[in-house]
Amino acid sequence: MKNINTYLIYKAYNIAIALDTDNNSLLSYSYQDEEVNISSQGILTTVNAELGAIIESYFKINLSDYGVALYDEVLQLETA
């Protein structure tokens, strides 16, 4: 198991995000009480535009290069 030292902490969603360059993916973890819960690891595949912009800016990447798609929350509400 690899040691990931850098997390993007986004408290509004209670998540921590790590860049896994070995596997070309973004990993997400739950974040509560100032702790990253490593056992909650998941692979990000879809994020909203707000979080996507934050991730791209923080890690200096393009989401699509890491298999992450953006979804449009407004469009989702209109079609529901």
Tell me the mean pLDDT in the region 2-28.
90
Residue 3 falls inside a structural domain = no
Q: Containing domain of residue 19, as a range?
A: 8-79
C-alpha pair distances (Å), 80 with each of 24, 47, 52, 70: 33, 18, 22, 18
39-44 long-range contacts, Cβ below 8 Å, gap at least 24? 43/67, 44/17, 44/68
Say if residues 47 and 28 touch (Cβ distance below 8 Å). no
Task: Report the domain count for the chain.
Answer: 1
Residue 2 falls inside a structural domain = no
- List pLDDT tens digits, range 31-76: 999 999 999 999 999 999 999 999 999 999 999 999 999 987 665 5
